[in-house]
Structure 1
Amino acid sequence: MPPFPFSAIVGQDEMRQALLIAAVDPAVGGVLVFGDRGTGKSTAIRALAALLPPMNAVAGCPYNCDPASPADLCPHCATTPGARKKSEKKAVPVVDLPLGATEDRVVGTLDLERALGAGVKAFEPGLLARANRGFLYIDEVNLLEDHLVDLLLDVAASGVNTVEREGLSLRHPARFVLVGSGNPEEGELRPQLLDRFGLACEVATPTDIATRIAVVRARDAYERDPDAFCAAHAKEDAATRKRIEAARKRLPAVTVPDAALEQAARLCLALGTDGLRGELTLMRTARALATLDGAGTVTDDHLRRIAPAALRHRLRRNPLDESGSTVRVERALAEVFA
């Protein structure tokens, strides 16, 4: 069955906007989607896979190495003569990381078949290798085991997966956009991992009748005839794909004025965010949003539109303020941009 079309998703504008921003600029740091069950979180993330433009990769490379970036090649491509000249178009990988996955399955391990059959110590790449230059998706990310969280934190910070297994020692590129979804009622996310996500979106069950009917009709039509439903939305998905490609090309030319950076800093100071990651994320996401809009310069409007998703998960707990994080961000926006 083909994936549900991205353009057919009803509502959930903040989530769709965040995923498009991550597709345009992976440097934003990933997307976290928290909300009720049955609100389209997994559907939207998997729909993104079919929407993404194909990428150039070294032919036959299990790590999806970019032939245009010699500094980021895996050990095999770096030592194989002529490997950089052979490239192929590949779909951008969107890899699921199951909650019950073992550490060996995630980072890779010794290829037992070759070890027993040929007596050769060879590396069998894991999920992080497959996700290189793509997306790593974790459903129910708040239930992920602590040892896997620690592993992901190390790899996400360095962009390199280091494996020491059964006499093997290997390093390979592992740069991916981390995408997680979950239900806050089932547990909180560790602060260290939460801080690694560039954007955090809140999704809720629609409360108006018209939207609920539109969602049910779309899902029913998809399940009754997936091919026809996808064909009906193919033109819209193609237009979105072209929009992503054009935005990627324009991104380096988008400017961020000092006035916009000053407003971002004022906003983070007003909210009391730790460190400077808040300003960096605001700058990167506002720039990606501007290029999606076709603008050449980041404006206050771009900052206001993306600030809740970029900052709501970076706020300290305030026992004297029972307001939700989104309300606190909106209140600060009203003060700073008054």
Structure 2
Amino acid sequence: MSTTSNWAGRTVLVTGAEGFIGSTLVDLLLAQGADVRAFVHYKPYAEKGHLAHLLDDPRVQLLAGDVRDPGRVSDAVEGCDTVFHLAALIGIPYSYDSPGAYVQTNVVGTENVAEACRRHAVRRMVHTSTSEVYGTARTAPIDESHPLQPQSPYSASKIGADMTALSHWHAFELPVTVVRPFNTYGPRQSARAVIPTILAQLHAGAREIKLGSLTPTRDFTYVTDTARGFMAAADCDRALGQVLNLGTGREISIGDLALALIAASGRDAQLVADPSRLRPSGSEVHRLLSDNTRAREWTGWEPQVSLEDGLKQTSEWVAAHLNLFAPDRYQV
């Protein structure tokens, strides 16, 4: 199935719509004619984050709520053709401090979304996984049959969420597909992730870039490519009850990534180890490299933005939005 399906006239729910990937997905869906319900986490103040530019757009309905509330989730899902479930508690370091919160939001929240999709007979639910569920690669590149290894409370909660979603396919024939992005990056990403962390330090004028381990490798995928993968998965019948990796098939070490970011930013800096940014030894994922064959062959999707171009675009965005970052503080 092509990634250029017609979304005109479809009512689509995006949970976690205020987030980095979610807001990018909302923009792409609108560009292809969809009517979007944007489910955002309730806050007692008016800030709408990455959806602020859509507040007066009649094609977007902003719904405040919490995926832990089954009633509110059910109301949001009713009448939707497709549900993209991105809402999650993310960030690995914080999961060491508050693992129970990850279970409640990621596992129970996914159960609530899946049950609402079943109750209201949606055409397709697309559930968001993460490459962190694989842990350190036992074989590379990693395909969808790779063992799941819960090396952090975050990854454990996402494994639980994935299994919850897929159980609804096996038990209830819920039309659900699990997409598993590999280290998405790009404009709008928060400082908790490595690329904006490095860029914020660089554009703030730092001459020493503080990082944790430099040796792990990652497969970085530009955010618009990830969002297109979600849309492609939503219209692929072969992907029902299946998992699709969304990655580039290219890996780079964190150390080499930092050097590439220094070059992309046009700054001059050296790398410095910061022990506070290290994961516990048994929790560090040393290698992630995707095999995206299934997504390419089943849906026609493939990444379009090179790492070099993506890093340049991300650098420009961070430089223009440096007020959103606190370069001198480690954000978990």
* TM-score, L = length of structure 2: 0.26
* TM-score, L = length of structure 1: 0.25
Q: Which structure: larger Rg?
A: 1
Structure with a larger share of its residues in helix: 1
